[in-house]
Amino acid sequence: MFYLFMRGLVKGLLFLVNGRARYENKEVLPQNENYILAAPHRTWWEPLYLAIAAGPKKFAFMAKEELFKNPILRFILVHANAFAVKRENPGPSTIKTPVKLLRETDLSLLMFPSGTRHSTELKGGMVVIGRMAKVRIVPCVYQGPLRLKDLFKRKRVTVRFGEPIDLSDIKKADEAGMQVVEQRLQSSFDQLDEEIDPNFHYEAK
């Protein structure tokens, strides 16, 4: 209930700040099954839009361990389906926790496998998680304001979903397997960006 309340509250705030966003190709989202929603990380508010866009599906997500030290923030994160990870040195729980959630709950997983905010271990972790939980990966992209001041200028936000990626043909989560998945994801990201606006350009900072 807390997650649904927070998602509704955030949705209303984002509407007031930026106006109505466009959520495209939602019909490709898997029904009655969990999945990993994967996107290139472009802004800190992007996860909010993705969680709203893919609703009514509920999501779990990773948050750095340091955020859980504050008791108030910890309460919010835990009740918003977040779980702690060590970004610099991910441990076994980085894999076990999301796999258990995907297998045993109604929560899907929101991940950002590319971008400077994530380590190589977490990129490979997505492949391991997907294979162990036997779920598909749904690529999506955010196009819109990349600076906070532009968000308040009500520049259009668009989220577009791509066809789910099946990992059943990936026999091992080794370097070769990871490379195949990363190529498939990047190809999907590029195609989705092209379909929204071929002139959109993002540079990781």
pLDDT value of residue 122: 47
pTM across the whole model: 0.87
pLDDT value of residue 138: 96
Which pLDDT band holds residue 135 (cuts at 50, 70, 90)? very high
Distance of CA 135 to the CA centre of its chain: 14
Cα torsion 50, 51, 55, 60 to 10°: value is 140
Q: How many CA atoms lie within 13 A of 111 on its CB side?
A: 31
CA dihedral over 161, 60, 1, 13, signed as positive or negative: negative
Residue 120: pLDDT over 50? no
Residue 86: pLDDT over 80? no
**Which regions of 132-202 does DSSP assign to beta strands (E)?**
136-143, 158-161
Q: 122 or 40: which carries more pLDDT confidence?
A: 40
Per-residue pLDDT tens for 148-195? 898 999 899 999 999 999 988 887 777 787 788 888 888 999 999 999
